[in-house]
Amino acid sequence: MENILNNCLKHADSAEIIHVQIEGMPVKFESNKLKCIRLKETEGIGLRVIQQGRIGFSSTTARGATSNPDKGEELIAHAIESATFGEKARFAFPSQAGIVVQDIRIFDEETSLLSAEELKNMGEEIINCILEKEPDIQCGLEINRAISTIRCLNSSGMDISYRKSYLGISVDALLVSGQNLIWVFDGEWSGKYSEESIKRIPERLIAALSLTKRDAVIKTGTMPVIFTPHAVSTLLEPLELGINGKMVQKGVSPLGEKMGQMILDCRLSIFDDATIDLALNSCPIDDEGIPTSRLPLIEKGILKNYLFDLQTAGLMNSKSTGNGYRGFDTLPSPHCSNLVIQPGEMSMNEMIKQMKNGLIVQQVIGGGQGNVLAGEFSVNVDLGFKVENGEIVGRIKDTMIAGNSYEILKHMVEIGSEVSYYDNIFTPPLWVDGVSVVGG
């Protein structure tokens, strides 16, 4: 890496390299049986340069780039050439001097040593637990154990690297019941193997399946809805776009002029936090070498921060928030790491008991429909349940929900107390009102 950087500086004013190595072991089951076990290795280098005030970039997956001078020179040449047409740089590569990197636990030795046989046994155990209660189920399951090594170095003297472990388990259960196809999905995603968390997967699936035995009919109208952690991303997707500094810089975010204003319910506090031990998206630095932190986005309903990478921060006369993320083959851009919603005090069971007439939404299909930037969503309910007088009376079918996240999240009914992790979000269930429901 040092040779590529030094050779690049013969042609560029400054330069930065990100080097990514990933060793993964995906194990896949289909229809309750093992399908395949693979060993997957990926390595890539991204080179970003600033030449005559403009940004250039190139990347390669060639493993020999670090040792083969010709491949290294080709990488450099492409980066320099692209700078001719690149965007004007509004930043300088950061120095390591004075940077304080938090000590975050992101690597677990036990997880990194899990063998193919252990992963296979883990998958079989989950499937057998489900089949013991629901013998007619067809399970699909994927487990991936991965170890990634990230290194970021630049011409300002920065050279930081870290290792990260990952264990992801995704399970889908399909039940054919008469004319109905019932599909339930669950999983766990973390940096650490935990026998306890793995046992919870079949327990949650079986609990969800038990609620699908009866059908219920829902009328078209506006009503309260409890979004479980599986479905909360439907409400938060517009917010993630709205706080993205690039959207603000381009003038397309509806939150661009609302810093310091009350934009959501005063009980809602939301953070971006890459410092949570062993969380999926935690890391000590972002992909530009800026230390990460627990960043308040919404505090008691008030907009506190946008997300910035170096370039976007420079364009906005601000500072990077440590949210410059990318693959080795792309330029950085602002993104969330782990979103955290501060829990409330009411349990999910108590929410249901207090709901007179409404829905529980567990899974959706069709995220992103509507004018998402403006806050609109319109999705089909893949798995949902009708609530009447404090009890779940059955599963709903052929139902669509729609609304505007910004308006709905201004008037929360309740925020749940139990936090789960799903789709990069640590969240409790959210009970909201004013959701448009179109029944089948």
Same domain? 105 vs 242: no
Count of C-beta atoms within a 10 Å radius of residue 294:
14
* Structure confidence at residue 364 (pLDDT): 92
Same domain? 272 vs 123: no
Gap between the Cα atoms of 133 and 175, Å rounded: 12
- The stretches in the chain having pLDDT less than 50 are none
Q: What is the pLDDT of residues 293-349, one digit of tens each?
A: 999 999 999 999 999 999 999 999 999 999 999 999 999 999 999 999 999 999 999
DSSP 132: H
Helix (H, G, I), strand (E, B) or coil at 150: strand
Asked if 27 and 142 count as a contact pair (C-beta separation under 8 A), the reply is: yes
Identity of residue 41: E
Closest CA to 147 of 162, 129, 132, 126: 162
Closest CA to 31 of 105, 130, 164: 130
Q: What is the pLDDT of residues 55-104, one digit of tens each?
A: 999 999 866 566 666 778 899 999 999 999 999 999 999 998 878 888 89
Query: Which residues touch 113 (CB under 8 Å, ≥6 apart)?
Result: none
- Show the domain range for 130: 2-208
Same domain? 203 vs 288: no
Query: Which residues touch 201 (CB under 8 Å, ≥6 apart)?
Result: 126, 169, 171, 186, 187, 188
Asked if 365 and 233 count as a contact pair (C-beta separation under 8 A), the reply is: no
Count of C-beta atoms within a 10 Å radius of residue 134:
17
Count of C-beta atoms within a 10 Å radius of residue 266:
12
Strands (E) in 31-158, as ranges, are: 33-37, 40-51, 54-60, 138-154
Same domain? 11 vs 154: yes
Q: Which of 164, 186, 208 is the last residue of a domain?
A: 208
Q: Which two structure tokens, joined as six digits, stand for 117?
A: 């046989």
Same domain? 15 vs 34: yes
Asked if 162 and 283 count as a contact pair (C-beta separation under 8 A), the reply is: yes
DSSP 278: T
Same domain? 194 vs 233: no
* Structure confidence at residue 192 (pLDDT): 87
Same domain? 185 vs 220: no
Asked if 235 and 409 count as a contact pair (C-beta separation under 8 A), the reply is: yes
| Radius of gyration for the chain, computed over Cα atoms and rounded to the nearest angstrom | 24
Q: Which of 168, 192, 208 is the last residue of a domain?
A: 208
Same domain? 297 vs 413: yes
What is the CATH number for 204? 3.30.2290.10
Gap between the Cα atoms of 124 and 134, Å rounded: 15
Query: Which residues touch 215 (CB under 8 Å, ≥6 apart)?
Result: 180, 394, 395, 396, 397
Give the distance between the most distant pair of CA atoms in the chain. 74
Closest CA to 367 of 381, 354, 355, 357: 381
Same domain? 77 vs 204: yes
Q: Which of 145, 180, 208 is the last residue of a domain?
A: 208
Asked if 355 and 387 count as a contact pair (C-beta separation under 8 A), the reply is: yes
Same domain? 107 vs 225: no
* Structure confidence at residue 159 (pLDDT): 94
Same domain? 119 vs 94: yes
Transcribe 288-347 into DSSP letters: TSPBP-EEEEEETTEE---B--HHHHHHTTS---S-EE--TTS--EE--S-EEEPP-SB-
Total of domains in the chain: 2
* Structure confidence at residue 69 (pLDDT): 65
Query: Which residues touch 343 (CB under 8 Å, ≥6 apart)?
Result: 415, 416, 417, 418, 419, 428
Gap between the Cα atoms of 93 and 292, Å rounded: 16
Asked if 201 and 186 count as a contact pair (C-beta separation under 8 A), the reply is: yes
Same domain? 202 vs 218: no
Compute the Cα dihedral for 78, 83, 85, 91 and give only its sign: positive
